[in-house]
């Protein structure tokens, strides 16, 4: 399994939105939408697990992503020694 960082998500996005969206790339489990410890409010990123490396690569190939109706773009992917993938998406203006 590969832990994946997804950033740039909006407050009205739930774990089920992320799981539904990323399932098209392979078996996916949302592990946590991060919250601020002090305020308890949702932060703009989540950690998900994607079953295999090929599925993660599929997310990188497709540059533009739309999760819960919000247009986002894949900006970065890197792998460290523990096979942790970081995928940062940021909001792009809707056309």
Residues spanned by the domain of 42: 3-91
pLDDT of residue 15: 87
Q: Say which CATH number the domain at 75 has.
A: 3.30.70.330
Tens digit of each residue's pLDDT, the chain (95 residues): 577 777 778 888 888 898 898 888 888 876 678 888 888 888 777 877 777 878 877 877 776 778 888 876 554 444 443 444 445 554 555 55
Domain count, the chain: 1
Taking CA atoms, 77 is separated from 18, 32, 84, in Å, by 18, 19, 10
pLDDT of residue 63: 67
Rg (alpha carbons) of the chain, rounded to whole number: 13
pLDDT of residue 32: 79
Quote the tokens at residue 9: 């998500």
């Amino acid at each position: 399994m590969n832990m994946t960082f997804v950033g740039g998500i909006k407050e009205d996005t739930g774990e089920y939105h992320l799981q539904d969206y990323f399932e098209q790339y392979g078996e996916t489990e949302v592990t946590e939408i991060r919250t601020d410890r002090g305020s308890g409010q949702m932060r703009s990123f989540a950690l998900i697990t994607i079953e295999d490396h090929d599925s993660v690569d599929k997310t990188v190939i497709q540059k533009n992503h739309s999760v819960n109706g919000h247009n986002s773009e894949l900006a970065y992917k890197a792998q460290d020694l523990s096979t942790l993938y970081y995928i940062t998406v940021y909001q792009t203006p809707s056309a």
